[in-house]
Amino acid sequence: MGGQADSIQTPRGASVSAVDDIVAAIRAMIAERGLAVGDSLPTERELCERFGTSRNTVREAMRILKARGMVEVRPKIGATLIDNRMESAFQMFSLNVMDVSRETYDDVQGFRLLLEVSSFEQIFDRLTDADVEALREINEGFRISVPVNDAAERDFRLHTRLIFILGNKAVLDVYGIMKPVILKIMLRNKTRRVFEGENYEDHARIIDALDARDRVAYQYRMREHLVNGYNRWNKAVDRGEA
Amino acid sequence: MGGQADSIQTPRGASVSAVDDIVAAIRAMIAERGLAVGDSLPTERELCERFGTSRNTVREAMRILKARGMVEVRPKIGATLIDNRMESAFQMFSLNVMDVSRETYDDVQGFRLLLEVSSFEQIFDRLTDADVEALREINEGFRISVPVNDAAERDFRLHTRLIFILGNKAVLDVYGIMKPVILKIMLRNKTRRVFEGENYEDHARIIDALDARDRVAYQYRMREHLVNGYNRWNKAVDRGEA
DNA sequence: GACGGATACTGGTTGGACAAATAGCCTTTC
DNA sequence: GAAAGGCTATTTGTCCAACCAGTATCCGTC
C-alpha cells in the first residue's frame, strides 16, 4: 500500500492536510493532559482558536475521532472521550447482505452455535430472573407478530437479548454486525411458512430450560433450534431457492 | 436559507444526523450500482445536489468513509472505493495516545475465553495431528523470539492458529479485528517482564492437552493461561501504570 | 502528431450565519 | 424553604458563498 514517495509527505511541520493536523494535535493534547475516558475536550470554537483553523476543519477532524470511536459528541455537552473503538472496528466490517456467500452463512451459523450454545456456562453464571422475564415477554410479542419482517425482527431481538446476558459488549457488537445475515436466514425460514408456531415453542422451551437452570436441556434445545433452521436453509439453498 | 425548504423532501425523523443519512445513502448507492474497489464516486458537489444537502455535510460524511478505510480521496480525481478497513481498524489502537479502557479489555478477554475455551468441543472435533504439529512449531519460534514485538506477534499467531482449527472464517475475521487490542495486552504483559518462559510453558502444556485429546486439561490450562494475563493486567492498571 | 499553455473542474479551507438542543440559572408558586 | 417550570446562554448541527491550489483536459501552435 501507499509506498509511493515516503520522503515527500514526511516533513513534520509542513503537513498534507489541515484536518489531519488537527487530529494529531487533539491526540497530542489528550496525551499531554493525560485525558482518559470520561474527560471532556474543549469546545469546537475553542479548538478553532487554539489551532488557528476554521470550525469546519475542526468539525471534520472531530468526525474522524467520532468514526474511530474515540469521542462522543452531544450538543451543549461537547465532546467527551470514550472507548468505542472496538465497536467502530467491528462496524467497519458490517456484512452486506448483497454479497454474502454460502460459506458466510455457514460461518455465521457456526458462530451463533458458539455464542448461544457453547457459551452456556457464562450465560448461566450471569442469568437472572429478570432476564428470563424479558425473554418471555419478547417471545410473546414474537408469537402475535404477523408480518414476516416483524417476526424476524422480534426473533432476532430475542436471540440478541440472550447474548445480552453475557454482559460482553464486544460479543454483542459482533452479533449486531451479523444481524443482516441472521435476519435473512430467519426471513427465509418464515417466508417458507416453516411453522412460526413451532419457532415460538422452540423459544419457550429454551426459556424454560433457562428458568429451570437446566444447562443440559438448554444446550440441547438451543442447538436443535439453530440447527433446524440451518438445515431448512441449506435445503432451500440446495434447491436453488436462494 | 434556501436549504431549509429542501429539508422537507428529506424528512429524517428516523435518523439522528444528516451526515449519517448521507453515509447511509452513499453506501446504498454503492450497493445499488454494484460499485467495487477501484470504482469512483460522484463528486462532492454532485452528491450535494443528489441528496439535497450542503457540501460540508457531504464532506463530513466523506470523512467518515475515509476514516473507515472505504474510500480514498484525491483532489481533482475524486473519491475512489478502496478496502483499507483492516489497516484503519489497526490505526485506532496502534496509536499510543489512548490506552485500551478497562471495559474493552474485559470484553476482549471474555470474548477470547469464549472463542478459545468454551469452543473446545468444536476444536476437538476438528483437531488433526497437523494442527498440533503446527502449533508446536509456532511455540518453538515463540520461545526463541527476542524483541517483545516479535514475541507478541508470535504469541498472537499461536492463538490465531488455534482459532483456525474451528474452520470458521467469520470467527477468524473477528479474532483478526481484535488483534490490535490482543497484541496490546500481550505486549503489556511482556514489557512487564512477566516470564516469557512461563508463557512458553503455558502454551506447551495446552498443546500437550490437545495432542492427548484431553478436553478437561485443555479447558483448565487455557483458562488459566488467559486469566493469568488478565490478573497481571488488572494489577498493573490498579496501580495506575496505565 | 507532439508539445505546451490556458481553462475548467475538483477537493481543501475559510468565515459567517442560523437552527436545534439543552445545562444551568432564575422565577414562580405552593 | 422547596419544588416545578420557564428562560437564557452556550454548544453542536447544518447551511451558504466564497476562494485557493492542484491537475486533468482541451486547444492551439509548431
What is the per-residue pLDDT for B193? 54
What are the cell numbers at B7? Answer: 429539508
Residue A176 has pLDDT above 90, yes or no: yes
- Decide if A146 is inside a domain: yes
Is B234 in the same domain as B119? yes
Q: Which of A64-73, A132-141, A179-188, A225-234 has the lowest mean pLDDT?
A: A225-234
Mention every residue, 6+ apart, whose C-beta is less than 8 A from residue A130: none
> B101 and B69 in one domain?
no
Q: Report whether pLDDT(A6) > 60.
A: no
Q: Does residue A60 lie within 7 Å of nucleic acid chain D, judged by its CB?
A: no
CA of A139, closest CA in chain B: separation in Å? 26
pLDDT in tens, B40-81: 999 999 999 999 999 999 999 999 999 999 999 998 888 999
- Checking if the pLDDT of A66 tops 50, the result is yes
Contact, B88 vs B69, CB < 8 A?
Answer: yes
Do residues B133 and B25 share a domain?
no
Domain count, chain B: 2
Q: Which residue has the higher pLDDT, A96 or A216?
A: A216
pLDDT value at position A189?
A: 73
Strand, coil or helix: A139: helix
- Nearest residue: Cα versus C1' of C15: A54
CATH assignment of the domain containing B221: 1.20.120.530
Query: Do B121 and B225 belong to one domain?
Result: yes
Which of the four pLDDT bands, split at 50, 70 and 90, describes residue B224? very high
Nearest CA in chain A to B65: A67
Residue A35 domain-assigned (yes or no) = yes
* Domain endpoint, select from B32, B54, B83: B83
Q: Which three cell numbers stand for residue B233?
A: 493486567
B127 CA from D17 C1′ (Å): 66
Residues A156 and A178 in one domain: yes
B157 shares a domain with B50 = no
Enclosing H/E stretch for A197: helix A196-211
Domain contains A1? no
**Which positions in chain B touch A1 (Cβ < 8 Å)?**
84, 87
What is the domain-level CATH number for residue B18? 1.10.10.10
Q: pLDDT over 90 for what percent of chain B?
A: 64
| Residue B192 pLDDT exceeds 70 | no
Give the predicted TM-score (pTM) of the model. Answer: 0.86
Interchain contact, A27 vs B95, CB within 8 Å? yes
Separate counts of helices (H) and strands (E) for chain A? 13, 2
Same-domain status, A61 and A161:
no
d(CA B156, CA B103): 21
Same domain, B78 and B118: no
A49 and A71 housed in the same domain: yes
Q: What is the mean pLDDT of residues A31-42?
A: 92
Query: Is B1 a residue whose pLDDT tops 60?
Result: no
Average pLDDT for residues A146-173, to the nearest whole number? 92
Instruction: Give the nearest chain B residue to A99 (CA atoms).
Output: B31
Q: Which of B64, B87, B106 lies nearest to residue A63, judging by beta carbons? A: B64
For residue A178, being part of any structural domain is answered with: yes
Kind plus residue range of the DSSP H or E element containing A80: strand A78-81
Q: Identify how many contiguous H helices and E strands chain B contains and give both numbers.
A: 13, 2
* pLDDT score of B180 more than 70: yes
Is B91 inside a domain boundary? no
Per-residue CB contacts under 7 A with strand D, chain B residues 155-194 = none
- Residue A55 structural domain: 6-83
- Domain edge (last residue) among B83, B106, B128: B83
| Average pLDDT in chain B | 86
The verdict on residue A214 lying in a domain is yes
A226 with A140, same domain: the answer is: yes
pLDDT of res. A134: 97
- End-of-domain residue from the set B50, B83, B116: B83
Is B218 found in the same domain as B139? yes
Q: Between A and B, how many residue pairs show a Cβ–Cβ distance under 8 A?
A: 136
Nearest CA in chain B to A55: B56
Q: What is the mean pLDDT of residues B99-126?
A: 94
In a domain, residue A102? The reply is: yes
Residue B11 within any structural domain of the chain: yes
Cβ of B7 near strand D (distance < 7 A): yes
Residues A61 and A125 grouped into a single domain: no
